Amino acid sequence: MVGYETHDYDVLVIGAGGAGLRAAIEASAGGAAVGVVTKSLLGKAHTVMAEGGIAAALGNVDDRDNWKVHFADTMRGGQYLNNPRMAELHAREAPARVRELEAWGALFDRTRDGRILQRNFGGHKYPRLAHVGDRTGLEMIRTLQDHGVHQGIDVHMEHTILTLLKDGERVAGAFGYDRQRGRFKLFRARAVVLATGGIGRAYQVTSNSWEYTGDGLSLAYHVGATLMDMEFVQFHPTGMVWPPSVRGILVTEGVRGEGGVLKNSQGRRFLFDDIPPLYKEQTATDPDEGWRYTQGDKSARRPPELLTRDHVARCIVREVREGRGSPHGGVYLDIAWIKEKLPNAAEHIKKKLPSMYHQFKQLADVDITREPMEVGPTMHYMMGGVRVDADTQMSDVPGLFAAGECAAGLHGANRLGGNSLSDLLVFGKRAGEHAACFARERGGVAVSEDEVEAAARRALEPFERTSGEGPYQVQRDLQAMMQNWVGIVRRGDELRQALDALAALRGRAANVSVGGNREYNPGWHTALDLESLLTVSEAVARAAIERKESRGAHFRDDYPQKDEAYATFNILVRRGADGEMRVERAPRPAMSPELQQIIEEMK
């Protein structure tokens, strides 16, 4: 028998990023006994890295903004595959969620009349992102953390959940281990909220940290929840490309929001050459108009650098492929040029983009106030995830909720920058509220000890094997494979090769062995993460095979056009009765006439 400790909660929240913390705060306010589990220390989750801002139609900078415009922008950005009800709730509730952060101590940058300042971002019609320089995520997570620790929530830092447990149809808790000591823990809970973030570690070049192994998606999948929109993986157009050690690290879109421009090796602003029809009306016709837009001129339209991420990323790939890239395989992002327009440009840049200035100065020896940066696409965000009910965030498994990046629906085929942080707050709150409610209404749960024992034994297997290879090589090979075959530009034959490769990698993963003991052992941690990585990678590849068109973040070289027949459904991934992965199509949720009309009006 393997020993373990047991904890009982009404609501167990897995993840302590923005979504998890906001859910925990709300569940606790609803009277629930709440436990939070996080793989890293409190305050270190991915949310801390967000730079640009939180999208909310506060209308502080441009009073033409309101929830309807935000809703229409979000739907257009997602190519209308978004769940319209989620996009509506998000746009309506984001302003209140941002103001609430202020009431809990957050200090956003201010307008001249002392209100929350908002900045421009790609795909948002008006300046909409509440921000703090370029460290908005830090402000947000610290505010939630400092508020949350006074709400009587139990936090289990540096714990990993390995499996969810069920009581009949219902979720009944989770089983995991303490990363520091290696001890097992059972969390019995009447409701569980998944807030585990994304899947970036399935790729080689990513802005995401080691935590992003898609655990929440895999945990949910294995207990029968449905995954949706898995083909939509966002590649952010501007990651660092040089030196190799920093490849993939994010360069915030805020640089372009402040007037930064993209150029190829011939010095041409190539984005002017290719503006998608859906955005023609809203895009500047010349550089001067674009510049005026970034400086708040309400009569000007946005520069093409602020088109949606999928488009900008693909244009960069094209420039590089056609030989007009920078020396290290990217293009140039230039903010230094604004010295032609502003007298104190260097100071202005340092004030508006302090961490970008530092990041380049310290890691790449580039002074962004004087020289252009070299940038290229980096895997950044997962639009797909656990399919949930729009109002409650509950998945297909009773009592299992999901919020934040690990849930699907709000962003459709492509997420707009800034819409994630607001997503975390709006739907984190909703998930917490409804999870507490579910826990109150339903009775207690029982878990099977045999199941727990089996999970514990499985977790220890890598120590027992002595002959297998180490886990790092398997992880690296998986990342390289996904980057090449399930990356930014996809093809049917390569996607099918990817499935074969995944089957082979699965075989290797089942044989990895690790040395040392259970105390803080990254080799063991990496070995245990492989299961999630393999599951989500397979789901992405299968969904990508199914969508034989190009839309939003999903681009098929063999089907380069949008196909209206594919605009009518979302792709679902589920575990079949035989244990194999099943792909299905689900008709797009219907849109109310009111929402339909808003979209027509804002076209």
Ligand X SMILES: Cc1cc2nc3c(=O)[nH]c(=O)nc-3n(C[C@H](O)[C@H](O)[C@H](O)COP(=O)(O)OP(=O)(O)OC[C@H]3O[C@@H](n4cnc5c(N)ncnc54)[C@H](O)[C@@H]3O)c2cc1C
Does the active-site annotation cover 236? yes
Q: Which of 236, 247, 411, 554 is catalytic?
A: 236
Q: Give the interface segment with ligand X, choosing from 35-43, 278-286, 467-475, 554-562 (CB under 6 A).
A: 35-43
Dist. CA 171–CA 164, nearest whole Å: 7
209 contributes a contact to other proteins by CB under 8 A: yes
Please answer whether residues 175 and 161 qualify as being in contact, where contact means their C-beta atoms are separated by less than 8 angstroms: yes
357 contributes a contact to other proteins by CB under 8 A: no
Q: Which residues contact 114 (CB under 8 A, 6 or more apart)?
A: none
Does the active-site annotation cover 434? no
99 contributes a contact to other proteins by CB under 8 A: yes
Dist. CA 495–CA 388, nearest whole Å: 27
Query: Which of residues 278, 346, 363, 499 is near other proteins by CB under 8 A?
Result: 363
Query: Which of residues 173, 409, 432, 471 is near other proteins by CB under 8 A?
Result: 471
507 contributes a contact to other proteins by CB under 8 A: no
Query: Which of residues 79, 82, 204, 207 is near ligand X by CB under 6 A?
Result: 207
Prior bond of 243 cis (ω within 30°): yes
Please answer whether residues 541 and 484 qualify as being in contact, where contact means their C-beta atoms are separated by less than 8 angstroms: no
Residue 209 CB, nearest approach to ligand X (Å) = 8
Q: Which does 138 bind (CB under 5 to 8 A by kind): other proteins, ligand X, none?
A: other proteins
Query: Which of residues 276, 329, 444, 515 is near other proteins by CB under 8 A?
Result: 515
Residue 315 CB, nearest approach to other proteins (Å) = 25
582 contributes a contact to other proteins by CB under 8 A: no
Rg (C-alpha) for the chain, rounded Å, is 23
Binding residues among 166-205 for ligand X as defined by CB under 6 A: 176, 195-197
Dist. CA 255–CA 382, nearest whole Å: 22
511 contributes a contact to other proteins by CB under 8 A: no
Size of the site for ligand X (CB under 6 A): 43
53 contributes a contact to ligand X by CB under 6 A: yes
Q: Residue 260 corresponds to which amino acid?
A: G
Please answer whether residues 63 and 111 qualify as being in contact, where contact means their C-beta atoms are separated by less than 8 angstroms: no
Burial class (CB in 10 A: 0-12, 13-18, 19+), 414: buried
Phi, psi of 475 (to 5 degrees): -60, -45
378 to 397: interface string for ligand X, x by CB under 6 A: ---x----------------
3-state SS class at 114: coil
Can you read off the two tokens belonging to residue 277? 């029809």
215 contributes a contact to ligand X by CB under 6 A: yes
Query: Which of residues 40, 79, 82, 163 is near ligand X by CB under 6 A?
Result: 40
Q: Which residues contact 311 (CB under 8 A, 6 or more apart)?
A: 274, 276
Q: Which residues contact 521 (CB under 8 A, 6 or more apart)?
A: 182, 514
To which residue do tokens 């509730």 refer? 93
9 contributes a contact to ligand X by CB under 6 A: no
236 contributes a contact to other proteins by CB under 8 A: no
Query: Which of residues 11, 12, 13, 16 is near ligand X by CB under 6 A?
Result: 16
355 contributes a contact to other proteins by CB under 8 A: yes
Closest listed residue to residue 420, CA positions, set 242, 534, 250: 250
Q: How many CB atoms lie within 10 A of CB 439?
A: 26
Closest listed residue to residue 330, CA positions, set 287, 394, 272, 373: 373
Q: Residue 346 corresponds to which amino acid?
A: A
Size of the site for other proteins (CB under 8 A): 64
Q: Residue 263 corresponds to which amino acid?
A: K
Q: Which does 552 bind (CB under 5 to 8 A by kind): ligand X, other proteins, none?
A: none
Q: Cβ closer to other proteins: 43 or 432?
A: 43
38 contributes a contact to ligand X by CB under 6 A: yes
267 contributes a contact to other proteins by CB under 8 A: no
Dist. CA 434–CA 402, nearest whole Å: 11
Closest listed residue to residue 313, CA positions, set 292, 285, 333, 338: 333
Q: How many CB atoms lie within 10 A of CB 151?
A: 14
Q: Cβ closer to other proteins: 99 or 491?
A: 99
Binding residues among 111-130 for other proteins as defined by CB under 8 A: 113-116
Can you read off the two tokens belonging to residue 418? 């800034």
The 8-class DSSP code of residue 278 comes to G
Binding residues among 131-170 for ligand X as defined by CB under 6 A: 136-137, 159-161
Contact residues: ligand X, CB under 6 A: 14-20, 37-40, 45-47, 49-53, 136-137, 159-161, 176, 195-197, 207-208, 211, 215, 250, 381, 404-406, 417-421, 424
- Residues recognised as catalytic: 236, 256
Residues lying near other proteins in the complex (CB under 8 A): 40-46, 48-49, 99, 102-105, 107, 109-110, 113-116, 132-133, 135, 138-139, 142, 146-147, 149-150, 157, 180, 209-211, 242-246, 249-250, 355, 358-359, 362-364, 470-473, 476, 514-517, 519-524
